[in-house]
């Protein structure tokens, strides 16, 4: 019987390598590791053996079944990758047979946590339903600012569209600057990072989602400067992309920082221009700036004595750059052909 097991193993492995599509693979699964497949049949036969043989053959038979199941999963993965690459419709899915794994956004977010934690940042979490006061007013965004309108913001309490009393789905993680200082009673020097989900009334397309993830950073001390910001952010992107990355700052305006800038990183994938950087060698990655004195005051921090930088970028965007994903909608699609590539 041991010999039979060996032969079965050889035959199954041989046939598996010649399965070229999902249908052939499914037929193989049924023939070998299905409920009435060859391995189960063989194991059913051990009841007539001696106790010792039962033990040995049972053990080896089960080991073979496990091995074949693993091979099956590997092959399934390979075939799916090949077919999704060519845009071919897969025929059927046995969801129960899949092994669970983390979502690409979760993987990216954990990496962001890990790197900033190693740079001395505290990780903070805060509410998705946010007071307009935190989302706008305390960040120096005045009542008449267009971003506060119903056109951009999901109102939870529509009666108070422009009032500080209102409730909104947060449009950015920036309110966490003030919340985390308040909640954790932070006193400078400190550095904090707050990743989380944000919501905007966007027209959804390949690069815009109404729900996505951002990470917000804030670092304050008596001496914090733009040079510190540059060092921290270059270290972050170089570690994240495992490449030597430099950043450049372009002047920009955000009400809660002064000066404010858009941050570009040098393309981590090329030196001369490629598809990812649209042949420009630079990729826009976040907004940032030196915290506005009014915002420091709103944190109960004396702007005469302390200064700091703040930044905010999108986790989805990082994941798209890293994994070469060209459509943001895939993240929420629940399409297993997409998701399984991250197992």
Closest distance to ligand DAH from the beta carbon of 287 (Å): 3
Q: Which stretch binds ligand DAH (CB under 6 A): 3-11, 161-169, 205-213, 309-317?
A: 309-317
Residue closer to ligand DAH (CB basis): 10 or 297: 297
**Of 308, 311, 325, 331, the one binding ligand DAH by CB under 6 A:** 311
| 104 touches ligand DAH by CB under 6 A | no
How far lies 170's CA from each of 127, 252, 260, in Å? 8, 22, 21
Q: Does 193 bind ligand DAH (CB under 6 A)?
A: no
Residue 196 in contact with ligand DAH, rule: CB under 6 A? no
> 39 and 63 in contact (C-beta within 8 Å)?
no
174 touches ligand DAH (CB under 6 A)? yes
Rounded to a whole number of angstroms, the minimum distance from the CB of residue 86 to ligand DAH is 37
Find out whether 99 and 69 touch, Cβ atoms under 8 Å: no
Task: Retrieve residue 201's tokens.
Answer: 């009334």
Tell me the H-state helices in 121-174: 132-135
312 touches ligand DAH (CB under 6 A) = yes
CA angle 271, 277, 282 (to 5 degrees): 70
For strands 307-314 and 167-169, give the pairing: unpaired
Contact status: 255 vs ligand DAH (CB under 6 A): no
Pairing of the two strands 129-131 and 122-123: unpaired
What the block records as the tokens of 93 is 């899915």
Stretch that binds ligand DAH, among 45-53, 57-65, 148-156, 306-314 (CB under 6 A): 306-314
Residues that bind ligand DAH (CB under 6 A): 172, 174, 216, 254, 257, 260, 287-289, 310-312
């Amino acid at each position: 019987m041991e010999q039979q097991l060996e032969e079965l193993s050889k035959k199954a492995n041989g046939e598996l390598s010649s399965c070229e599509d999902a249908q052939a693979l499914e037929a193989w699964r049924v023939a070998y590791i299905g409920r009435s497949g060859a391995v189960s049949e063989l194991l059913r036969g051990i009841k007539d053996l001696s106790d010792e043989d039962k033990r040995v053959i049972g053990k080896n038979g089960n080991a073979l079944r496990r091995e074949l199941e693993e091979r099956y999963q590997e092959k399934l993965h390979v075939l799916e990758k090949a077919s999704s690459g060519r845009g071919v419709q897969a025929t059927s899915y046995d969801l129960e047979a899949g092994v669970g794994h983390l979502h690409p956004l979760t993987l990216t977010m954990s990496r962001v946590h890990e790197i900033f934690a190693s740079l001395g940042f505290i990780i903070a979490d805060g509410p998705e339903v946010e007071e307009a006061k935190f989302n706008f007013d305390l960040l120096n965004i005045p009542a008449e600012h267009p971003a506060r309108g119903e056109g951009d913001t999901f109102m939870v309490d529509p009666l108070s569209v422009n009032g500080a009393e209102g409730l909104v789905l947060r449009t950015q993680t920036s309110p966490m600057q003030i919340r985390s200082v308040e909640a954790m009673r932070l006193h400078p020097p400190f550095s904090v990072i707050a990743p989380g989900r944000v919501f905007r009334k966007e027209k959804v397309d390949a690069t815009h989602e109404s729900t996505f993830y951002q990470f917000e950073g804030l670092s304050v001390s008596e001496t914090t400067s733009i040079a510190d910001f540059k060092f921290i952010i270059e270290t972050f992107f170089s570690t994240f992309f495992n490449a030597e990355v430099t950043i450049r700052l372009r002047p920009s305006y955000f009400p809660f920082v002064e000066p404010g800038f858009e941050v570009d990183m040098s393309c981590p994938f090329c030196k001369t221009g490629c598809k990812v950087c649209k042949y420009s060698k630079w990729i826009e990655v976040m907004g940032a700036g030196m915290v506005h004195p009014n915002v420091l005051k709103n944190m109960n921090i004396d702007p005469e004595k302390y200064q700091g930088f703040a930044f905010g970028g999108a986790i989805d965007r990082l994941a798209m750059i890293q994994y070469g994903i060209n459509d943001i909608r895939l993240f929420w699609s629940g399409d297993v052909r997409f998701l399984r590539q991250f197992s």
